[in-house]
Amino acid sequence: MGLVNEPVLVFDDVHLNFGNVKAVNGVSFTVNPDELFAVIGPNGAGKTSIFNVLSGVYRPQSGSVTMHGQQLLGMKPPAIANLGVARTFQNIELFANLTVVDNLMLGRHQHIKYGTLAAFAWVGKARNEEVRHRRAVEEIIDFLELEAWRMLPVGMLPYGVQKRVELGRALAMEPKLLLLDEPVAGMNLEETEDMARFIIDIRDELQVPMIMVEHDMGLVMDIADRILVVDFGTPISLGTPAEVQKDPAVITAYLGTEASA
């Protein structure tokens, strides 16, 4: 068994090219247990490409990505998900006609062990497992304060609540690493503050390590433990929020000029 302080994820010198375009150019970082790690950068910086490498959607030309010592590169997305990597999406990917409960139950699919015949018979193992999965979903509904909407079709819900449901579906997978892709994109201030609170609770109470890509710099600087800044696929800064904010390379990437002393 590995040591408690060993990184959950090691992303090591990864290079991903599309023709002459270097989408990920020598990016390296680690994610520690219970850490909220953020990846930021201007539009087109390579943030989503990093997520797609982690999810198995893209396969880089070189480098290494290991989670708890297991190599992820070369694995297909379902296999990586089965290892415990869950992801939310910038654009909501829910089933609009299904209820909140049913959408969250879909996040349990990889934990369902009974077969089709058992499901039709609805006895023994199938019934017991269904009860267990329902209990897990109800805990998530309580955790994310979704009780008022639990039996409503997701398509009827406010945008901010839909984003919360998508977060809940990722949590239903019981992730060992959670990837948050623009979790507050399109939200108003109140919705953003609610989502920030839930993300902090996931880290502090559920102790799930997270990687977050986000454009809201106020949110990132307030809640992230460490930040990686990328620009045109290349890492330019890595450190705490305070360290990154003062880095001249970061200021140049965002503002086009170094800040005066």
Q: What is the pLDDT along the chain (261 residues), one digit of tens a residue?
A: 344 579 999 999 999 999 999 999 999 999 999 899 999 988 888 899 999 999 999 999 999 999 999 999 999 999 999 999 999 987 778 889 999 999 999 888 665 655 555 544 445 565 666 677 788 899 999 999 999 999 999 999 999 999 999 999 999 999 999 999 999 999 999 999 999 999 999 999 999 999 999 988 899 999 999 999 999 999 999 999 999 999 998 888 876 654 443
> Looking at the domain that runs over 1-84+175-261, which CATH code has it been given?
3.40.50.300
At 168 the pLDDT is 96
Residue 42: per-residue pLDDT: 83
Residue 93: the pLDDT is 80
- The pLDDT value given to residue 56: 95
What are the residue ranges of helices labelled H in the chain?
Answer: 47-55, 77-82, 100-106, 116-121, 125-143, 159-172, 189-201, 217-223, 241-245, 248-255
172-184 b/e (C-beta count within 10 Å ≥ 16 → b): bbebbbbbbbbbb
pTM of the model: 0.87
pLDDT at position 252 is: 85
Q: Where in the chain is the domain with CATH 3.40.50.300?
A: 1-84+175-261
Pairwise CA distance, residues 147 & 115, whole Å: 30
